[in-house]
Structure formats: C-alpha cells, structure tokens
Amino acid sequence: MATDMTDRRAGPGGEPQRPSGAGREPQPVAAPAGEREEPAGESRLIGFLRDLTQTYGPSGREEAVREYIRARVEAWADEVRVDALGNLMARRGPRGGAAPGRSGGPGRRIMVAAHMDEIALIATHIDEKGFIRVEPVGGQDPIILMGQRVEFAGGVIGVVSSEKLDGARDLKMGKLFVDIGATSGDDARRHVRVGDMAVFHRPLERAGRRLVAKAMDDRSGCAVVMEAMARLEDSPHEVYFVFTVQEEVGLRGARTASFGIEPDVAVAVDITLAGDTPEPEHRVAVELGKGPAVKVKDNSQIAHPLVRRWMEATAEAEGIPYQLEVLPFGGTDAGAMQLARAGVPAGTLSIPTRYAHTPGEMVDAGDLEGAVRLLVAMLQRPLPEL
C-alpha cells in the first residue's frame, strides 16, 4: 500500500568518492529458506510469508524477492517472464474446458497484482565520522524510525538515530542518520555507498493468531497470490499473476505491466489499515480477524462496481467473511491498472493490517486464509455483467 507518511505525520526536514571495486553491485540478501527447518506445523502460506518478509527488497531492488517467487510459481504457470521494469508475470491459460473470450463467453483476461517492494531508506551522504544521512523511499515516519535497526544490501546492519532535538516536533527526516558502527568515513564507505538502501531488520513473529513482521506491505499480498496459484485448479479465465515493482514510490510497475497485458479486469491484493486499535487516527470500519476487505475507495481509486460485485457475490456464495473498506488516504496498484490504455475495471482485495509502514506490521492468519479462499473462488467463476 503506497502512502506518504511524512505528509500525514512528522514531515521531512556531495556524494563521497566511491571505494575501489565500486562498480560491483552489492548482492541482495535473501532469506536462506532452503537451509533451515520450517517451524513445526507451519502451513505453506505462512512459510511463504515468513521467507518473503525476511527477504531484502526495497523499491527498485526487488530482485531477491522476485527470484524467490519465481522459483516457486513456475510449476503453477504456463508461462513466466520478467518485463523491462522488473515485474514478474506468471500467465496461466484457461483450464477446465472453457475458452477465453475477450468479447464473449465466460472467459476474460484477468490481471492479479501484488507488489514485491518494501519501504526503505536511501543513503544520501556519508560524513567523515562514518554516519550515514538518509532520505525515505516510500512513506516513512521519523518517529517510527528512531532507534530502529536497519539492513543494507549485503547484510550490513545499522541503527537509526538523530541529532540533538529541541523537542519531538523538531524530529524531521533531515535530522536522522544511520550508524553502522564504522570508525571513520572511509570505513563506512567500504560497506555502504551513496545510493544504497536499507530496510527494517526484524524477523516474523507469532502472537497467537496474529503474525508480526516488517514488509507485510505487501509480502502478505504476494504470499496470498502465490498460495492462490497453488490451489487454483480450473478457471474459465486467462489469468496473469503479476508481482510488481516500485509500488511504494508511485505504482510504477503496475502501470507498465497493465499497459502490456491489456487486461479486461484487474485486482490488486494489498494491505489496508485496520481501525480497531485504541483511538485510531483514522476511523476505518476494518478489523483484524473479521476476514479480508473489499475496497470501496482510497486516494488512488474508486473500485469499479463490476469488481466489487464479483468479490462480494463470491464471498457470500462461498460463506467467506468479508468487510467493506473506505480508506481516507493511500493507494494500491489498482489505481494504476484502472488507467491502462482505454481503462480497466479494477478493484482491491485488502488484507487488514495494524501498524502499517512500521517494522511491526500485524496481520491475522485467518484473514490471510480468507483472502486466498476468496481469490481462488473468484477466479473459478464467470464475472458478473456490467
């Protein structure tokens, strides 16, 4: 979910010489899923989520996430490719005897999108003591960032701190720096360069039925789409499952992918704000544990009536609990997909989430399962008429 946290909360306030070997790109850090035992009794869906949330993938550097997903979804797709911007597209033709029909018949070309990227910080300057100045990549809140551990590509860990403040209102992005424990500017530049990005450094943890991790936005959506691909058997539709790039910085991957695919209908799978915490900043009628949400509106789109009807009718027919969502800010890939070419009916299947754009984003395991069930059931049914 793309938001501008600095607009809503605290607000923002000479590149050094590169070291020898600076032409080499730092290697992204992926969770070593194949080298560790999965927790006993953990489902495939939660296993996907655990691995994805622990994989490094800021906006524009999603390659480790993409390779993790690609290695798993190729078995469930007829064709897999990566476009020029880095979107991963897994196409699956109609199955079960139905033929696709762009203008008639039950089959349609459907694009289902979940974004791979996560919010980050980007290094803008390294001083002679080795402290790294940063700016946000995506919506970041300086209040949340203070004291957090972050990870650069290659596994370099740092801590976010700030200059002396004249009170909480003085906390701006321009006051922050990252300390990687360097002894000098040259020492820091051996590990981090201007332009390198850092993401939150936190594992996934269980809290009863809840799951807490960084990057639930939108690795939870990626996990739901992957699991839906694994479970989907017959469908009258030609479906493009697209794992997009650079959503957090302007819905960019979805814009180019939908232009190329030319879908008849598009659905984004992304998080939304849960409004069930004490005295929330925004009164949103969405709660954890009450099922996935069908988006009505956010700042990027008003959901198309056809897509809303398709989602709601399917949930009611299958007995899947769902909620209606009106979000007073932010947006999803549906906002870009709806504007492709001559326009595409689009909507969003939302995963209720507490504490969005923090290292402790919280979702409910039952809501994730409900989102998978609803997406699979939608893709098995003909679309309603306009």
Instruction: Write out the catalytic residue numbers.
Output: 247
Tell me how far CA of residue 247 lies from CA of 133, 172, 204, 219, 316, in angstroms: 24, 24, 22, 12, 30
- 3-class DSSP state for residue 330? coil
Distance of alpha carbon 53 from alpha carbon 76, whole angstroms: 22
Asked if 293 and 321 touch (Cβ cutoff 8 Å), the reply is: no
Record the tokens describing residue 340, joined without a space: 């492709």
Burial of 33 (0-12, 13-18, 19+ CB in 10 A): middle
Record the tokens describing residue 318, joined without a space: 């299958």
Distance of alpha carbon 121 from alpha carbon 201, whole angstroms: 12
Record the tokens describing residue 184, joined without a space: 């000098």
Strand partners, 198: 121, 152
From start to end of 144-292, where are the E strands? 149-152, 157-162, 176-179, 197-200, 205-207, 210-213, 238-244, 265-273
